[in-house]
């Protein structure tokens, strides 16, 4: 604690080691009677004059402040069914009485001293004088008129405002508390608090932990209450490990409607969230891959979902072949192509990934990489966004094409996603890809860190040109002789450190 003592207008800081505030006193900074008694007994503290020009300034961080004065009542701990009325609480706040006509001008000069608490008005009507207003002050800074700085006192004097500080009993309700504050007060003390979620249109998608499950319905309702536009809260109850890449979910609170609309990177997507895969945290990755392609390029999207790669790339006047095994994803992919007016540029398929590669992809590559390929100036890209299993599908490229291989710079560029829990995730993903292909990628691949999925679990994207020795039948070409120069200069470690990869 620091003590401000101002004899003859000169400020000094005196540290008092022997004085400690009780819990009740720390919660109400304006309870001066007991504080003054303690300070008067402390060694080294001078007697107070009649005006008590004396104030305290507790060294309390902002987060600690919120957990004290502005925290919900302690008796809500353990609540499993939301009772909003139980969050009512009265706190004592310092206020300054001013004439209503000067409030706007004065507030600009009292930014430091005024209460900074979202959801609480800083200026309220004076219940005793309709011509006056009360300015809420920071209870951790403002105690007496001596808490004002010289410049603030000067402004008050100019505007003929009495600097005397009064007390005001402010009633806090459920509406005044943030979602994190509510959940921290309700959940067992010391346990993790869920205040974040993935937003999918009007749906809040949470991944609750075991200790949070007894409070799941309360948590869901709080998320709806505290986030405008959210009308449904759901919790994932299994991993995405089934054939169609969706997951079972439980509606925690709100409406059962899972039909939603989202806006990502200026494109609109509509779908049934309970039947398809959608992850709003991949927005940056969708943009990154889109930026790699140029007008006229060709994209094969092996696991296209509802179109977050296919549609933006088609908008760049690229030719897109988009596939997904899930019939619901296929349906909404077609719908979203029309919705974003790219249905004439996207050919949509409903096949297993391997069948798509060895069918439509093979047929198109035979034309793209055929005898006239030397005249082609555009690139071919293959996106494989199925992190749990995509690498297993790389084997489908083995001996995919007949004939003589084209020049190395025209070979397709693969962007394959994977998860890793390894201490060196970039190396781990590269080794997984090499094992699937049966050939080293050390000289012609790069790895990009996409996002942290969970503690010690990363999502990554390995990018490489498919070696001719893999793609063509009866080829035993030396990979080093067909290395892609740009990729050789950008090794895995650089890409993993966050460098942006620009690939032609």
Measured between alpha carbons, how far is 22 from 56 in angstroms, rounded to an integer? Answer: 14
Helix (H) or strand (E) holding 135: strand 129-136
CA distances from 461 to 380, 385, 393 (A): 17, 9, 14
pLDDT at 195: 64
79 token code pair = 């609540």
Residue pair 350/330 in contact by the 8 Å Cβ criterion: yes
Residue pair 120/168 in contact by the 8 Å Cβ criterion: no
pLDDT at 18: 31
* Reported pTM: 0.75
Determine how β-strand 346-349 pairs with β-strand 319-323. parallel
pLDDT at 4: 35
E strands within 192-345?
Answer: 198-200, 203-206, 232-236, 249-254, 259-264, 267-272, 298-301, 319-323
Measured between alpha carbons, how far is 451 from 489 in angstroms, rounded to an integer? Answer: 24
For the chain, the structural domain boundaries read 89-172, 179-257, 275-471
Helix (H) or strand (E) holding 470: helix 468-471
Residues of each annotated binding site for S-adenosyl-L-methionine: 286, 324-325, 352-353, 385
pLDDT at 243: 59
Measured between alpha carbons, how far is 45 from 43 in angstroms, rounded to an integer? Answer: 6
State residue 270 phi and psi, 5-degree precision.
-120, 140
Residue with tokens 């995919």: 400
Measured between alpha carbons, how far is 234 from 253 in angstroms, rounded to an integer? Answer: 7
Measured between alpha carbons, how far is 85 from 110 in angstroms, rounded to an integer? Answer: 33
Measured between alpha carbons, how far is 317 from 322 in angstroms, rounded to an integer? Answer: 15
Burial call 351-385: b when 16+ CB within 10 Å, e when fewer: bbbeebbeebbbebbeebbeeebeebeebbbbbbb
Give the three-state DSSP class for 351.
coil
Residue pair 251/236 in contact by the 8 Å Cβ criterion: no
CA distances from 250 to 210, 217, 237 (A): 14, 10, 7
Pick the CATH number of 89-172 from 3.40.50, 3.30.70, 3.30.43, 1.10.10: 3.30.70
Backbone dihedral region for residue 87 (phi beyond 0: left; psi -120 to 50: alpha; all else: beta)? alpha
pLDDT at 249: 87
Task: Give the number of other CB atoms < 10 A from CB of residue 336.
Answer: 23
Q: What pLDDT tens digit does each residue of the chain (504 aa) get?
A: 333 333 333 333 333 333 333 333 333 444 433 343 444 344 333 333 333 332 333 333 444 444 578 899 999 999 999 999 999 999 999 999 999 999 999 999 999 999 999 889 999 999 999 999 999 999 999 999 999 999 999 999 999 999 999 999 999 999 999 999 999 999 999 888 876 789 999 999 998 988 999 999 999 999 999 999 999 999 988 655 445 556 688 999 999 999 999 999 999 999 999 999 999 999 999 999 999 999 999 999 999 999 999 999 999 999 999 999 999 999 999 999 999 999 999 999 999 999 999 999 999 999 888 766 566 678 999 999 999 999 999 999 999 999 888 888 889 999 999 999 999 999 999 999 999 999 999 888 999 999 999 889 999 999 999 999 999 987 654 444 444 444 443 444 444 444 333 333
Task: Give the number of other CB atoms < 10 A from CB of residue 42.
Answer: 13
Residues of each annotated binding site: 286, 324-325, 352-353, 385
Helix (H) or strand (E) holding 354: helix 353-356
Residue with tokens 């992809």: 361
Residue pair 413/503 in contact by the 8 Å Cβ criterion: yes
CATH number of 275-471: 3.40.50.150
Measured between alpha carbons, how far is 352 from 360 in angstroms, rounded to an integer? Answer: 11
pLDDT at 237: 80
> Which top CATH class is 179-257?
alpha beta
pLDDT at 34: 38
Give the three-state DSSP class for 124.
strand
Residues 6+ apart with CB under 8 A from 313: 289, 290, 293, 297, 299, 320
E strands within 385-477?
Answer: 413-420, 445-454, 457-465
Q: Could you tell me the maximum CA-CA distance found in the chain, to the nearest angstrom? A: 102
Going across the sheet that includes 457-465, the strands are 346-349, 319-323, 298-301, 380-384, 413-420, 457-465, 445-454
Residue with tokens 């696991």: 303
CA distances from 13 to 4, 36, 212, 294, 462 (A): 5, 17, 46, 65, 59
């Amino acid at each position: 604690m620091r003590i401000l003592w101002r004899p003859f207008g000169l400020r000094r800081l005196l540290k008092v080691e022997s004085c400690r505030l009780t819990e009740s006193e720390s919660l109400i900074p304006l309870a001066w009677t007991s504080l003054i008694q303690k300070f008067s007994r402390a060694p080294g503290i001078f007697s107070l004059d009649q005006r008590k020009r004396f104030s305290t300034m507790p060294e309390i961080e902002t987060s600690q402040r919120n957990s004290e004065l502005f925290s919900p009542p302690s008796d809500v701990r353990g609540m499993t069914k939301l009772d909003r009325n139980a969050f009512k609480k009265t706190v004592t706040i310092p206020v300054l009485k001013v004439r209503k006509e000067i409030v706007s001008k004065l507030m600009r000069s009292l930014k430091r001293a005024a209460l900074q608490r979202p959801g609480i008005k800083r200026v309220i009507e004076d219940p005793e004088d309709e011509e006056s207003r009360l300015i809420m002050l920071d209870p951790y800074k403002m105690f007496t008129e001596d808490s004002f700085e010289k410049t603030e006192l000067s402004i008050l004097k100019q505007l003929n405002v009495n600097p005397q500080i009064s007390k005001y009993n402010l009633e806090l309700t459920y509406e005044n508390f943030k979602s994190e504050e509510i959940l921290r007060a309700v959940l067992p003390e010391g346990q993790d608090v869920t205040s974040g979620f993935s937003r999918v249109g009007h749906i809040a998608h949470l991944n609750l932990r075991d200790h949070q499950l007894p409070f799941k319905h309360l948590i869901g309702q709080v998320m709806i209450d505290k986030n405008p536009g959210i009308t449904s809260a759901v919790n994932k109850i299994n991993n995405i490990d089934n054939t169609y890449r969706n997951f079972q979910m439980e509606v925690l609170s709100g409406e059962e409607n899972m039909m939603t609309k989202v806006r990502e990177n200026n494109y609109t997507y509509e779908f049934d969230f309970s039947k398809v895969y959608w992850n709003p945290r991949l927005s940056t990755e969708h943009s990154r891959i889109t930026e790699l392609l140029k007008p006229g390029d060709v994209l094969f999207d092996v696991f296209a979902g509802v179109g977050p790669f296919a549609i933006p790339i088609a908008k760049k006047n690229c030719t897109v072949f988009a596939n997904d095994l899930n019939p619901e994803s296929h349906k909404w992919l077609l719908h979203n192509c029309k919705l974003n007016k790219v249905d004439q540029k996207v050919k949509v398929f409903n096949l297993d990934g391997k069948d798509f590669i060895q069918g439509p992809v093979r047929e198109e590559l035979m034309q793209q990489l055929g005898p006239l390929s030397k005249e082609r100036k555009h690139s071919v890209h293959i996106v494989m966004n199925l992190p749990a299993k995509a690498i297993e599908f790389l084997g489908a490229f083995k001996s995919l094409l007949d004939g003589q291989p084209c020049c190395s710079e025209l070979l397709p560029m693969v962007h394959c996603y994977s998860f890793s829990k390894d201490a060196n995730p970039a190396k781990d993903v590269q080794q997984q890809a090499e094992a699937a292909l049966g050939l080293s990628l050390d000289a012609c691949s790069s790895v990009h860190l996409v996002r942290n999925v969970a503690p010690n679990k990363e999502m990554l994207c390995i990018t490489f040109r498919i070696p001719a020795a893999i793609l063509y039948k009866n080829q035993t070409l030396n990979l080093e002789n067909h290395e892609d120069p740009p990729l050789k200069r950008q090794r895995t470690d650089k890409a993993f450190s966050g460098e942006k990869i620009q690939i032609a």
